[in-house]
A and B are shown apart, each in its own frame.
Chain A
Amino acid sequence: MDRERKRSISTEYKKGYSVILGCVIIMFAAASMGNWMLSLGYGSALDELLELNQLFVEIETANMAISDAYLYLRESSMEGYTAERENVCRQTAVVERQVEREYSRAKKDLACMTETYLEECDRLILLLKSYVSQENPHDVSDKEIDVQFRATQEVMDYINTSFKDIYSIELTVSLEKKQNMAQISRAIGFLQIGLLVLVLAIYLKHNLRIIRNISDSLSQLTRFVECIKENLYHTERLELRSHDELMILADTMNDMLDIIQKQVCQLEQDNQIRAQIKEMEIDNLRLKNELQSSQMNLLQSRINPHFLFNTLNMISNSAVMEDAEQTRTLIDITAEYLRYNLDRLTKTVTLAEEIENLKDYIYIQKCRFEDRFTFVFDLDRACSAQKMPCMILQPLVENALKHGIHNMLTGGRVIIRTKQAPTCTMIEIEDNGCGFQQTYISKIRNGEFEYEKDDHVGLRNIYMRLKLFYQAQVVFDVDSHPGKTVLHIEVPGQGTWQGE
């Protein structure tokens, strides 16, 4: 992470600025050093000329003293020469040092000529002093002094010539130095410009590289996001090599995409499993329905309803012709009962229709058993329109008759009760027979009786049909003991009683 931070965008920019700063410092140092050297060079050249000029002045002064001493034999001039000689020697030493620093043939010759001149002058001064101090002036001849004086002036002429040559040379050399310095100055200037151009080139290249890296990274990021937008299951991952914050962003986006894709896959797998379960349930129900339909069709195929109703109609007509009114009524009700069974068996009916059919059944049973059993209806008109499967109530009453009060010679009673609750319709079949066995009641209450194959098949079939019809929202309970058995059913929905 430290490494990434070092390569961050701001760090890259800082590097560029550092390069610029460093080069500015270098250029400033070069300019300062160059200026210092140039001023030193100019100063040195000027100093050398001034020193030479000072020597010339000193020699001229000494020569004036010599001339004065020769022309007027003044002792003060001879003393003056001695004083000036020191100055000339001192200044000659200065020129000698110049020669030691930077060899110059002309200066070396001048220094030597000066020494020669001083020697010639010394000889002349000695002669003059001898001439002035001697008692007999003829010990030192005039001619000898003249020759010596001419010798000094001859050397003085050479010195003057030499000075002229040296000035000419020095000025030429100074011009060359000036040109050299100008060249150095130009070289430094070019160097600075070159450095500046180089630095600017490096800086621009550096900045362009940074901008290009950012631009490339952003382009890749944009393309990557567009790919994800088009296809959430994009398998490729973003690989940035910029080693900056954008690379960290790209890595984070990759991680986020991994997490999102995993979660979406998980959700889809869950949905698939749920759909498979539902499909299996639907298949199961369809199979059951088909099974029931096939069973019903099988039953229906066993009876030729048309033939049966024609026959019953013919018997009814015979009963009318024979004036057997009760028989005719019985046959008509039986036919009505059978017609309901055969026509509506696979259809949805109302609770009122079921009650009407149940009444037909009770009529038939009354004809059979006369007054052995009584049937009581306690009906709530509010639930008459309750939708329900066909043939529910009749088998329940038949079951109470068959297993509850069948053995009672008198006093057998069955109560059919309906009641509309706010969210459901309650149906109760009560009898005063011998009741259910307690083990079977337990099976009903804990649901085991759904799997029973032998006992109370009719009751189990009714329960299963109700459960199928109402999507298992059915209450099916039995409260039974000898003398009173109540079969309690609650189905969802509500309706209006329309029958009698």
Chain B
Amino acid sequence: MKKTKWVWAGMLFACLAVCGFLLFCFVKRQTQDTGQDWVRITAVLPHKDYGYWSIMGEGILGGGEEYGADVKIVIPRMNYDVAQMTQLIRQETAARVDALIVQGIDDEDYLEALAKAQAQGILIVLVDTDVEGIFPHLYVGTDNYAAGRKMGEAVAAVTGGHGTIAVLSGAENYPNLEERYEGICKALEQYPDLTVACLEYDQYDSLRVMEKYHTIAREYPEVDTLVCIEGTSGQTLGTRLTGETRKFSHILVFDLVEETTQGLRAGAFEGVMEQQQGNMGRISVREIRRQMESGGQWDRKILTDVNFVMAEDPEDKGNG
């Protein structure tokens, strides 16, 4: 008689399990989070480079999950197409998002679009690069001048204070790059035997990077140290050079990403300046949430650390 009871109990349980399973599926489908209280944030990033900005985007998305915000990342079709980025900002303004995360670019239309957005009550966060003297905004990023000084000290360390240096930057008039260059120059003032022979710009393009690399080697034979203060050049050289094929005695680059790590392992570089771009994204989202919940001072700066990674210790380092 007990066995029979167990059989019926099992059948009842199976029946309930089936009904429960189906009901669960149905209810789950019907009662997904409506997101009525969610904060809508859009990040307009300059390009998808599978490096620095991609890590930044991952950090922003991670911050959205961590702090409960609906984050959307939009990217122009062409790298660093400021006009298209401006259009994207206007589009997101028309969509009345709660906050915009963008790179600070000193372009009139770009800044005007941001100002209009800010005027509509949209919070503006500038990452990586700050623009001084504009509407109230939050800057989250590296202290580029300090990072430049740290790079200068690293150059002095690897060259022993003697040598001729070439600097490869991104685009002209980019405030963050200019600050880095100023920081390097300031640090090198203490080393009279270290001189900067030239400053070149690669326009965030790998073909241009390689062209500039060979031009410097050809036109400045006295240069024994190459310093890349923009991420694209580090990424490009990391995959193209090895310890045997490089044309300079010392190469130091910015931004620790997969390609620069590969270059470190292959002996293409002496060291890489690591920024916390992922952390910048997370901090941006966190601050937006905090501002929307409790208000307070918004026009301020949050500076993240930099770290110089040598060839012998890339495995232990991350990008924040």
Contacts and interface: CB of A to CB of B under 8 A. Distances in A.
Contacts of A187: 21
A188 B4 CA distance: 27
Given A103-B34, A105-B70, A162-B95, A37 B4 contact: no
A22 B34 contact: no
A149 B94 CA distance: 15
A188 B22 contact: yes
B199 interface: no
A109 B94 CA distance: 8
Contacts of B25: 37, 184
B33 interface: yes
Given A15-B4, A102-B32, A103-B32, A116 B22 contact: no
* Interface class of chain A by DSSP: helix
B115 to A, nearest CB: 16
B34 A100 contact: yes
Interface residues of B, number: 30
B18 A26 contact: yes
A156 B148 CA distance: 45
Contacts of B1: 6
A195 B18 CA distance: 10
Interface string B1-19: 1001001000100110011
Does more than half of chain B's interface fall in helix, strand or loop, or is it mixed? helix
Contacts of A37: 22, 25-26
Interface in B75-111: 90-92, 94-97
B91 A33 contact: no
A155 B94 contact: yes
A465 B36 CA distance: 138
A309 to B, nearest CB: 104
A335 B92 CA distance: 173
A86 interface: no
A109 B34 contact: no
Interface string A101-129: 11101001110110111000000000000
A110 B94 CA distance: 9
A191 interface: yes
Interface residues of A, number: 39
A202 B18 CA distance: 18
A367 to B, nearest CB: 111
B4 A109 contact: no
Nearest to A154: B90
10 contacts: A22-B11, A29-B18, A37-B22, A105-B35, A108-B40, A113-B95, A116-B94, A117-B94, A154-B94, A198-B14
Interface of B: 1, 4, 7, 11, 14-15, 18-19, 21-22, 25-26, 29-30, 32-36, 38, 40, 70, 72, 90-92, 94-97
Interface of A: 6, 15, 19, 22-23, 26, 29-30, 33-34, 37, 40-41, 99-103, 105, 108-110, 112-113, 115-117, 154-155, 158, 161-162, 184, 187-188, 191, 195, 198, 202
Given A33-B22, A109-B92, A187-B21, 12 more contacts: A15-B7, A26-B11, A30-B19, A37-B22, A101-B30, A103-B33, A113-B94, A154-B90, A158-B90, A161-B91, A162-B91, A198-B14
